Structure 1
């Protein structure tokens, strides 16, 4: 008699789907989520396209014109011959162009330094005023900032008019008889100074309000601790205030460099770059070159050089600032 041993039945194997295995069927509502994710891009698409049309297309067109022989005839016919970098060589070998470049950097440096110093002082003053005086000063700054550029330039022309200007009348009344009917805009240094005053007056309100808004973010406890330690006002500004507002200060500085570097309307309306070339900077030089001799190609090349120089100044400034931040413990 044989004994047969039966093997127990093996338990059924169950398949466990790991978490890394994707589902065979797409999750419900996946297409709706994808469409919802596209909505932000569709909403900003008109703005992006408009900016490309208003900014990128003119820039590309100016670059193309600077590489062509583009004069009045080509403007009418629409057919221009490609000449490569010939316009840039003509421009860079012109002594008058380099004189304008030097004058542009002097003009920019004087304006930006005065704007940032005065704006910082005004912002510090506003921070220490009471609520009523603070409101009055900020309202005055906003009104000055909102004044149109052409209107402000016309007012300054009236102020310094040789016969009817209040500046000449006031100086004459104070005993400076040499300023009786003094032609301010006929002398290069005088016209240059008036333009600096105009641009500084127009730019300080924005810079002061922006710097003041940054000052309001500095914790008051830091000031109190510094005063308890016996720190002076200058020491507090160097060690606490300026490091805290440095990002906003850098932003305002870069904006003022751009706006001052491309100042055109004030100079063109007030002096047309004269007398002589005393107030001619690169944007004015570009327009003069394009309109006086119908050399639109050279004018475009001067505009491109202006953009490159302005970008180089900003890149150098930002590199210096980031290097200082890296060295700060």
Structure 2
């Protein structure tokens, strides 16, 4: 005779006597991570989503001082976008922003990689001293570091001009670094690279600690020098690091605003404006809020296209693994 199996009723905690969880606890387990993320998602949507939506709406309006004072809403469709896309100044600023980004990112990645390799080779106390110096440079507020660099390169009382004069370059004693486009960009690039190298260096050093020493030893036994070890051992092992860090630096440099604006407000004669500064001056300084919003949206679309390209590379790498 076949024995009948009786299913015991669930206990007070929602789990039957056979030890299997009921549907309720299983559902709660599945949705628990999403419930924990919900406050952060809502805060992000409120703090970032609403301003972004407002910017997009304003970009389709003719919003200047008159409309702002009279509380008028004048929709003009894509006129702000067509005006900018047919404006030579917009494309000059875009090209300047791209060149500015490329120069900064190359210098940051090369400098950060070299400093990271140096951290890996130094002894304990020298590594501690260099790490502390990098942290101080990284932690300094952007406005404070920009002010310091403005003082360093001051025409009359700057330390840089004084030092160059002492080294024999007497023509640099009263040189105005902010009177020329390229010299102004030189100071801004120096500031951005100085503040960004610590991030790359620390990540590079952390990545180097994950590479087994056996790989270095095998490469040296094969007669590989420093450059060969970097190209055949370090770079392949840390390729995801280089890809992710370069992508982050491109975004951070491309949207850099404070350093460029606080240094010389896009001058001289608006020759050092990048797209974020151009959007601010057109929108806020010139009271063309619709135009400034359209420039900001176009900048976001450029960064969005860059992000799509980056994610495409990431997905391709995952497929190859």
TM-score (norm 2): 0.89
2:112 to 116, 119, 126: 119
CA distance in 2, matches of 1:53, 1:73: 29
Shift of 1:293: 2.5
- Aligned positions of 1:138-287 closer than 5 A: 138-287=131-280
Post-superposition CA distance 1:172-219 (Å, at most 9, x none): 112211112111111111101100000000100111111111111111
CA distance in 2, matches of 1:35, 1:109: 48
Once superposed, what is the RMSD of the aligned Cα atoms? Answer: 2.5
SS at match of 1:106: helix
Matching residue of 2:18: none
CA distance in 1, matches of 2:253, 2:192: 8
Matching residue of 1:69: 62
CA distance in 1, matches of 2:203, 2:69: 47
CA distance in 2, matches of 1:46, 1:317: 28
Matching residue of 2:35: 42
- Aligned positions of 1:67-106 closer than 5 A: 67-106=60-99
CA distance in 1, matches of 2:141, 2:160: 22
CA distance in 1, matches of 2:69, 2:40: 32
2:294 to 301, 304, 307: 301
CA distance in 1, matches of 2:145, 2:244: 25
TM-score (norm 1): 0.87
Shift of 1:75: 3.3
CA distance in 2, matches of 1:158, 1:269: 12
Larger radius of gyration, structure 1 or 2? Answer: 1
CA distance in 2, matches of 1:89, 1:258: 25
Q: 1:83 to 1:223 in 2, by over 3 A?
A: same
Post-superposition CA distance 1:82-119 (Å, at most 9, x none): 22211100111111111101100010000000000000
Shift of 1:25: 7.9
Post-superposition CA distance 1:195-247 (Å, at most 9, x none): 00000001001111111111111111111111111122211111111111111
Shift of 1:38: 4.4
Q: How many residues align?
A: 311
Post-superposition CA distance 1:245-304 (Å, at most 9, x none): 111221111111011001100111111000012210000000010123211111011011
Q: 1:24 to 1:135 in 2, by over 3 A?
A: same
CA contact (8 A) 1:145 1:202 kept: yes
Q: 1:51 to 1:69 in 2, by over 3 A?
A: same
Q: 1:26 to 1:298 in 2, by over 3 A?
A: farther
SS at match of 2:178: helix
CA distance in 1, matches of 2:123, 2:273: 44
Correspondence 1:54 to 2:44: no
Consecutive unaligned residues in structure 2, runs of 5 or more: 16-21
Shift of 1:127: 0.5
